[in-house]
Amino acid sequence: MALSLGILCLLIGGEASPAEKPAAASQSEADPVQAVIDDVERACLERTVFMIGRPKARRLAELVRQAKPRTVVECGTALGYSGLWIARELKAAGRGKLITIEIDPKLARQAQENLRRAGLQDYVEVRTGDARQVVKQIPGPIDFVFIDCGYSNYLPCLAGLEEKLSPAAVIVADNVGIGAAGMDDYLKHVRTKYRSRTEWFDIELPWAKRDAMEVTFVSPQPPKAPDSGVSP
């Protein structure tokens, strides 16, 4: 009798077994961080809060994923856009901490709330203050650095971290295309002392349509990594 009822249920389209159900209901359920990233991106565009934009953010996330850092330092938090991309990679790896620094207390609070909404609060510490000074208080070893603040502050921020960098540290500097003149001292320093390259991106932001990031490797040998697909 039970067998007959089971066959009848299948014939009339009864509910599928758990194994037959879709693995994921939607992208937002599979990656709840993305909804917050989308919200922050819209807010940055509406309020003209400078952010790196999606093409560069994808590359930044890829570099974090490859580096597998335990300690990441970000100079310039704003609303937390790039921090969301970084911290999502740390959470996926199940390890690491992002220390992100913002000079504006109001923006720092908003960034902290955005990171909390994304469920990334355990992987991020938001510090408020002048990054040139705050970096001096961060203990090493530091495995990954992302610099996205006032152009004249790039070299002072790196100087406060440099002696604490791990042997395989990666340093990424944003706005190298549109802000090269303002960070000339920084670019000369990393290009002379380390293995450094400029990666260009086509972006669709009100303040720039094409920009670059400087990716610097402290290690003498290039890391083994798949093709990033960045434009020359």
DSSP helix, strand, coil percent of the chain (3-state; round to 5)? 50, 25, 30
| Predicted local confidence at residue 146, as pLDDT | 98
Comparing 31 with 186, the larger pLDDT belongs to: 186
Instruction: Classify the C-alpha dihedral 90-91-92-93 as positive or negative.
Output: positive
Query: 148 vs 11, 154, 200, CA distance in Å?
Result: 61, 8, 16
| Predicted local confidence at residue 6, as pLDDT | 41
CA 226 remoteness from chain centre = 18
CA trace torsion 43, 48, 52, 58 (10° rounding):
30
Kindly give, in sequence order, each residue whose CB lies less than 8 Å from that of residue 68, ignoring residues fewer than 6 positions away. Answer: 93, 95, 96
| Predicted local confidence at residue 29, as pLDDT | 60
Comparing 74 with 49, the larger pLDDT belongs to: 74
**Residue range 132-176, pLDDT digits in tens:** 999 999 999 999 999 999 999 999 999 999 999 999 999 999 999
| Predicted local confidence at residue 204, as pLDDT | 84
Q: Give this prediction's pTM.
A: 0.82
Domain residue limits, the chain: 32-217
Query: 224 vs 4, 143, 169, 191, CA distance in Å?
Result: 59, 17, 14, 20
Residue 96 forms beta bridges with which residues?
Answer: none
| Predicted local confidence at residue 188, as pLDDT | 98
Rounded distance between C-alpha atoms, residue 209 and residue 153, angstroms: 24
The answer to whether residues 207 and 179 touch, using CB atoms and an 8 Å cutoff, is no
Rounded distance between C-alpha atoms, residue 171 and residue 216, angstroms: 5
Residue 212 forms beta bridges with which residues?
Answer: 200
Rounded distance between C-alpha atoms, residue 45 and residue 32, angstroms: 21
The dotted CATH code for 32-217 is 3.40.50.150
Of 11-15, 182-186, 214-218, 224-228, the one with minimum mean pLDDT is 11-15
